[in-house]
Amino acid sequence: MPRRMRRRMNAPPIYLDNLATTQVDPRVLAVMLPYFTRHFGNPASATHAYGWAAKEAVEQARAQVAALIGAVPREIIFTSGATEAINLALKGVAAFHRQRGNHFVTSAIEHKAVLDCCRRLQGEGAELTVLPVDHWGQVELAALEAAISSQTIAVGLMAANNEIGTIQPLAEIGALTRSRGVLWLCDAAQAVGKIPLDVEALGVDLLAISAHKIYGPKGVGALYVRRRPRVRLLPLLDGGGQERGLRAGTLNVPGIVGLGMACELARLELAAEAQQLEGLREVLRQRIATTLPGVELNGHPVQRLPGNLHLSFAGVDGAELLLALPDLALSSGSACTSGSTEPSHVLKAIGQEAPASLRFGLGRFTTRVEIDTAAAQVVAAVKQLRSRADEHPGLHHQPALAGSDNQGSDS
């Protein structure tokens, strides 16, 4: 049995992949459990108490989600996650506004849920502009303005990148899209609950949320759809008329309740949690970067998610580095393809070609002891791999499969 497998069977690794998914907060689970058993009604059942209780719980969750992002409850549409929300937004807008225009603008570092959705629309006849980003991963506003034409109906730009953690200039993007009369879909799966977001102040028209990024359950999310000025889109699913006719199907009441509680906790604890995570992140960065040469920070040094640290390491192979860290659960910034490790589309977009990158995703339950342990193990692993490479410069290493989180959408 491989060493990595033996180690994980004996003791779980330190979890540092909170950008891929988070554990459900016990407080979230506690409010969900009754809706699997005692309060199991269908919120569409309007003739008895079981249905009324379920509907009341859904509407309370809708208000909790809205409060976190500065919306009103009627602007929240529940979905199965951010991927569905993104597809509903982009494809729904394209279908409704096809007589007005057929041009979309996005960026090279968007999540695959946005990029693949835009490419599907492109394959169906839409025009698509994919903007480059600077070396920090931010879109240049002048390039965005130049890309918008009379045929542009929507811009799809994320709030914060899932891989390198860079936060976009959100207020400026909102002001620009509003002045040009185009819709802005903001993929906020990584940002919501981690940085302050106010859709009204920022000028966001459509915003995607996923519960499992903020200590809620998997399989549930939401789409914010602005009411004033009203954003019009057509549904992807028909039948039943749920969610104001925009998302048919019986609602996932326990999941929605969990999403609502996760948003409520995030709203109350955001500032303190962000400060805690920034402190832990800086300890981790300094412990690694001041001990090892050839370490580079990817993403914006300041405008980044509190719990995101993305580092590239010179002189080591990315797949081998992950294999050398069996006690750490984290993601690589590279994906292994056809026997060769290549940087992800995000790293390529910012000009990062280092063969080894690690994404550390710190979260609510990460401790200082875990950070100290992780830093020591990374330093030791990099030193060992570099030493081996120096001793055997011609040795060919077979890279192992090591993928980066595509939020899958899990966006």
Q: Are 332 and 358 in contact (CB under 8 A)?
A: yes
For 26-266, CATH gives 3.40.640.10
The catalytic site residues sit at 336
Q: What is the pTM of this model?
A: 0.92
Q: At what angle do helices 253-289 and 49-69 cross, to 10 degrees?
A: 30
pLDDT tens for 122-138 read: 999 999 999 999 999 99
Output phi, psi for 100, to 5 deg. Answer: -90, -35
How much is the pLDDT for 339?
39
Helix (H, G, I), strand (E, B) or coil at 152: strand
The Cα–Cα gap between 251 and 159 comes to 27
Mean pLDDT score of the chain, rounded to an integer? Answer: 92
> What is the pLDDT at residue 314?
95
What are the residue ranges of CATH 3.40.640.10 in the chain? 26-266
Other C-beta atoms closer than 10 Å to the C-beta of 369 total: 9
Enter the CATH code of domain 3-23+269-391.
Answer: 3.90.1150.10
Q: Rounded CA gap, 380 and 386, in Å? A: 10
Numbered ranges of CATH 3.90.1150.10 in the chain = 3-23+269-391
Nearest to 373 by CA among 331, 333, 327, 313: 327
10 Å Cβ neighbour count for 395? 8
**Span 382-406, pLDDT tens digits:** 999 999 877 766 554 443 333 344 4
Residues of the chain with pLDDT under 50: 1-2, 4-6, 8, 334-340, 396-410
pLDDT tens for each residue of 39-66: 999 999 999 999 999 999 999 999 999 9
HSE, side-chain direction, 13 A CA sphere, residue 197 = 34
What is the distance between the alpha carbons of residues 346 and 391, in angstroms, rounded to a whole number?
33
